[in-house]
Amino acid sequence: MTHVSRRTMLFASSTLLTGAALLAATGCSTTTTTPTTPTAVPTIASDATLLANALAALEPLIPSAAQAVYAQVVAAATTVAKDATTLLTATGTTATNAGTEILSLISTIGPAIVGLFPGGGTAVTIIQAAISLAPELASLLGLASYAKSSVASVMPPTLARGVLAGLPRSPHFGT
């Protein structure tokens, strides 16, 4: 089982507070979107897989008292894993629909996870990394409405990928 290094988690956690405050004050930057190109497909599929792994990694971190959120995360993790698999070969409307579903689920789950852990922690770092990567995925898919995210990114996409890359593979692939 692969683990995220303590240094990466501490850096990402400290970035949450300063980055959120900074982005709340300045707003999200406008991202120019371009249509999906064949060269973007590996990055799209990789980013979608990282997002699926992020949701699956949240499952054991959710307190047993929060069964509704747990059920929502499990359902989302299964759906995102399916959509990530679809994005390996999909183009056009199929890719757009799968990407839109992933982005919608990430933006819906994010506030629920942050609300469960008001003091921060591993779960918040994971979901913040996923939220930070979502506009990049939207941009690669040419989804202008999501590329300019209403949820503030608190870390650059490269750091988000680094945080998420240390997570184990989602058990929901193939379900």
Do residues 170 and 56 touch, judged by C-beta distance below 8 A?
A: yes
pLDDT of residue 92: 80
Most confident among 1-5, 17-21, 117-121, 158-162 (mean pLDDT): 158-162
Determine the average pLDDT of the residues in 59-64.
91
pLDDT of residue 33: 37
Residue 133 burial (10 A CB sphere; 0-12, 13-18, 19+): buried
pLDDT of residue 149: 53
Q: In sequence order, which ranges of the chain are alpha helices (DSSP H)? A: 6-26, 41-58, 67-87, 92-116, 122-141, 144-147, 157-165
**Residue 152 pLDDT level (bands cut at 50, 70, 90):** low
Residue 42 burial (10 A CB sphere; 0-12, 13-18, 19+): exposed
Determine the average pLDDT of the residues in 141-158.
73
pLDDT tens track for 75-105: 999 999 999 888 888 778 888 889 889 999 9
pLDDT tens track for 131-141: 999 888 888 88
pLDDT of residue 143: 82
pLDDT tens track for 7-26: 444 344 433 433 333 233 33
Query: What's the pTM?
Result: 0.74
